[in-house]
Structure 1
Amino acid sequence: MMASGHQTVGVTAGLLSITLLPQVEYIPNGTLETILFFVFVLFGSLLPDIDTPSSTLGRKFWRALMYILLAAAVLYLFAPEYLETYREQLKVFVMLTFPLLVMVKSHRKMTHSVVFIGLLLFYHLVITYFFEVPPYYFVGFMLGVCSHLLGDYLTKRGIPFFYPISKKYFRFIITMRTGSSAEKIMVTVLSIWNVWYLISQVF
């Protein structure tokens, strides 16, 4: 599924969660909280494609990582005392980044599996251990990630849900090709529903 499709499905999942689970404490209530909630939904809806350097998020991630590594190399050569000053922060950064680098081998492998979801849950535990982060941010983020896997589950290629335990790809009974007319129709219908729902809530 294309990036725009993943984001549309993610927004739909976010709206459905707020509609169907209004009393759950992990769902945002205020306007600002709701906006931030959907920011995390949109980011999560693109994250699994971080394993593809040519994807919308992949390009930004790998470019930023290259800049960070270049800056670290320059500091190591000309100002090593700065690296020593931020030693603990760098350890946390490496700890959080290294698993992503290990799992990024090719498109729709580890980042489209239940192992990736488990890794994100682990990240959540680590981050909340060090910082106080409202839970609805993570809920929105995970909704986006899961909506991405659902979108690719509907494509003809499917997803390797149990990778690396099993390399078998799973897909829905009815599938569509990425970028096909069927996908565009589905995205258009969901977009219309999303806009209608938002307008109905305002007026």
Structure 2
Amino acid sequence: MTGPTHIIGGFTAAAAMAYFNAISVEQPIIYYSASLFGALIPDICHPRSMVGRALPVVSTVLLRTFGHRAFTHSLLFLLGIYWLLNWLPVYSTDVTLGLLSGVVSHFILDAMTSQGIRLFYPLKTRVRFPFTTKTGSLLGERFVAFMLIGATVYFFTFG
């Protein structure tokens, strides 16, 4: 999936988490901003991604070391982010929940592509849905984005 679809997915995931879990979001702007950032972070391993272009040296090193959609698209990465967030001097539930929901949404969306993700890195097994789309495809990716927008509207309307 492309950056814009991941942004929509991160926002939808944060809205869904608040809706289904009755989360008390103390600072919505921080919670939703963290989810948008979290939705982009896993693609730091791709130099042409939104985050990769902002941090080209880090992106290139990660790509050469792990490959694309490997470590940064794994449960190990997700646990590492959780661990780091808990060690911050100023812990924020809004930042943690927002960031993690964004990262998980990224994993789900990339698992909807034919390439899939290495969710259980360092194992080489790729995880993907039985139905997939090509990244950036006009029909598939736009359909997914449209469905995510519809879900977000639902969560905010009935939440």
TM-score by length of 2: 0.87
Corresponding residue to 1:60 among 51, 54, 59: 54
Quote the offset at 1:39 in angstroms.
0.3
User: Within 2, Cα distance between the matches of 1:104 and 1:138?
Assistant: 27
Matches within 5 A, 1:26-175: 27-29=24-26, 33-62=27-56, 104-127=65-88, 131-164=89-122, 166-175=123-132
User: Within 1, Cα distance between the matches of 2:119 and 2:13?
Assistant: 20
| Pairing 1:4–2:1 present | no
SS in 1 for 2:95: helix
TM-score by length of 1: 0.69
Quote the offset at 1:197 in angstroms.
4.7
SS in 2 for 1:171: coil
Aligned AA for 1:57? Answer: V
Deviations 1:70-94 (A, max 9, x none): xxxxxxxxxxxxxxxxxxxxxxxxx
Q: Give the unaligned 5+ runs of structure 2.
A: none
How many residues are aligned here?
156
Structure with the greater alpha carbon radius of gyration: 1
Quote the offset at 1:101 in angstroms.
5.2
**1:197/1:162 Cα in 2 relative to 1: closer, same or farther (>3 Å)?**
closer
User: Within 1, Cα distance between the matches of 2:64 and 2:104?
Assistant: 18
Q: What does residue 84 of structure 1 align with?
A: none
Q: Give the unaligned 5+ runs of structure 1.
A: 66-99
User: Within 2, Cα distance between the matches of 1:104 and 1:61?
Assistant: 16
**1:59/1:102 Cα in 2 relative to 1: closer, same or farther (>3 Å)?**
closer
